[in-house]
Amino acid sequence: MEENTKGVADKVRTPKILVTGACGQLGSELTEQLNKIYGVENVVISDLKEPVKKTTNHFEALDVTDTNRLYEIIESLEITQIYHLAAILSAKGEENPHIAWRINMDGLLNVLEAGRRWKLDKIYWPSSIAVFGVNSPKNPTPQNTVIEPSTAYGISKHAGELWCQYYHDQFGLDVRSLRYPGLIGYQGLPGGGTTDYAVDIFHKAVQGEKFTCFLSKDTVLPMMYMPDAIKATLDLMEADKEKLSVHTSYNIQAISFSPEEIFNEIKKSYPSFTTEYAPDFRQKIADSWPEVIDDAQARNDWNWEPNYDLKSMVADMLKNLKEIKDLALVQNH
Ligand code: NAD
Ligand code: AKB
């Protein structure tokens, strides 16, 4: 393989960050925090298409499967770190498993290989609770256990974890990863996941609409409020490299609840809110996933601890979504 000799990994340098999949649910919120820490001029955002929201970040259109375009961006903008978020999620992935595999796998391999060639300082890549399958213990699911995912997405995340470990072990690449549970945020709209009912339910409540849930009322899944997911990501990326003992991906846990439990919590603020249950193909995916994650390793290695429980997350989500709705009403008048 042709080596790039411009690597400057041993010098201390100001991070110049590239975020892939930056217009998604996680990327749009993570970018805001990266801007605060590193300065907007040092955070380049990229995605398949232009951001819908106004942004002051430098934007590059990038399909992560396009190796040359990725290399061109890294070279020309002198990128030193990548947060590689672009992916096809579980439910969407089942509609076209080969496309999900290609985007998730080729994208990650391109980023890892770029990390090796350009001697990038750090790479962040999210894995998921989707790596676990029906044969993994459900409550709690240990860091190291049977891993037999049943979705194309889960298979790609499991293989991706092993590739991250491979690049770390073989090439000394500093690549860090978290197995996120379902993420819940108010800024972006859900992007094709099985846990996304827990985002959609808030929008329906605030809009005064009835909610139809595609999972059964008693399906317990691990979830996390977006501010906690961002805190975990940034804490892991700032952690002392020597303290990190997991080079596949860390388990992290925050809140586990069922659709009925979150519905009941929302109903305390919206008493007339109603939900019906109509499980579809996503039920089978959810049934194969953990209920509660054992995150002792993350707590030990880099002091992981979430801030939000179900009650405080629901209160904050409703407050923010109501503010967004009220602002839109004012702007439309
Ligand atoms: P999302 O679907 O909201 O965003 C993904 C982004 O990737 C989108 O903006 C999409 O346009 C972009 N994208 C898709 N294909 C691309 C390609 N070929 N090239 C470039 N960009 C492409 O997803 P998200 O919720 O923001 O998830 C971000 C990451 O976090 C993913 O890796 C996902 O697997 C992981 N994750 C998310 C959750 C969750 O609950 N949201 C849970 C576990 C892991
Ligand atoms: C999905 O449901 O696909 C994601 C995930 C848990 O990875 N939210």
Query: Which one-letter DSSP state was computed for residue 143?
Result: S
Residue 105 reports pLDDT greater than 60: yes
Pocket test for ligand 1, best of 30, 31, 46, 48 (most atoms within 8 A of CB): 48
Q: Which ligand 2 atom is the nearest neighbour of the CA of 221?
A: 6
pLDDT digits (tens, 9 = 90+) for 241-293: 999 999 999 999 999 999 999 999 999 999 999 999 999 999 999 999 999 99
pLDDT digits (tens, 9 = 90+) for 216-228: 999 999 999 999 9
Span 78-102, average pLDDT: 97
**Strands (E) located in the chain:** 17-20, 43-47, 58-61, 81-84, 122-124, 127-128, 175-176, 178-180, 182-184, 211-213, 221-225, 250-251, 255-257, 275-277
Question: From residue 260, how far is each of 102, 105, 220, 267, 276 by CA, in Å?
Answer: 36, 35, 9, 10, 10
CA–centroid distance, residue 190 to ligand 1 (Å): 10
Q: With a 6 A CB cut-off, is 151 part of the ligand 2 pocket? A: no
Question: From residue 181, how far is each of 10, 34, 59, 239, 319 by CA, in Å?
Answer: 35, 21, 28, 21, 23
What's the confidence (pLDDT) of residue 225? 98
Residue 50 reports pLDDT greater than 90: no
Q: Among the bound ligands, name the one nearest to the CA of residue 221.
A: 2
Going by pLDDT thresholds of 50, 70 and 90, the confidence category of residue 91 is: very high
Least confident stretch, 14-23, 48-57, 284-293: 48-57
Span 23-41, average pLDDT: 96
Interatomic CA distance for residues 90 and 153, integer angstroms: 5
What's the confidence (pLDDT) of residue 218? 98
Going by pLDDT thresholds of 50, 70 and 90, the confidence category of residue 12 is: low
What's the confidence (pLDDT) of residue 327? 86
Span 149-165, average pLDDT: 98
Going by pLDDT thresholds of 50, 70 and 90, the confidence category of residue 76 is: very high
β-bridge mates for residue 44, sequence order:
18, 58
- In the chain, the percentage of residues whose pLDDT exceeds 90 is 89
Residue 3 reports pLDDT greater than 50: no
Residue 318 reports pLDDT greater than 60: yes
Q: With a 6 A CB cut-off, is 233 part of the ligand 1 pocket? A: no
pTM across the whole model: 0.95
Span 179-190, average pLDDT: 92
Q: Minimal CA–CA distance to 15: which of 100, 88, 77, 108?
A: 77
Q: Which ligand 1 atom is the nearest neighbour of the CA of 64?
A: 19
Longest dimension (CA), the chain: 64
Whether 166 sits among the annotated catalytic residues: the reply is no
Residue 297 reports pLDDT greater than 90: yes
What's the confidence (pLDDT) of residue 7? 45
Q: Which ligand 2 atom is the nearest neighbour of the CA of 289?
A: 6
Structure-token pair, residue 283: 């039920």
Pocket test for ligand 2, best of 132, 156, 180 (most atoms within 8 A of CB): 180
CA–centroid distance, residue 77 to ligand 2 (Å): 31
Active-site entry in 83, 124, 153, 250: 153
CA–centroid distance, residue 141 to ligand 1 (Å): 24
Interatomic CA distance for residues 182 and 317, integer angstroms: 15
Residue 5 reports pLDDT greater than 90: no
Residue 75 reports pLDDT greater than 50: yes
CA–centroid distance, residue 102 to ligand 1 (Å): 14
Q: With a 6 A CB cut-off, is 110 part of the ligand 1 pocket? A: no
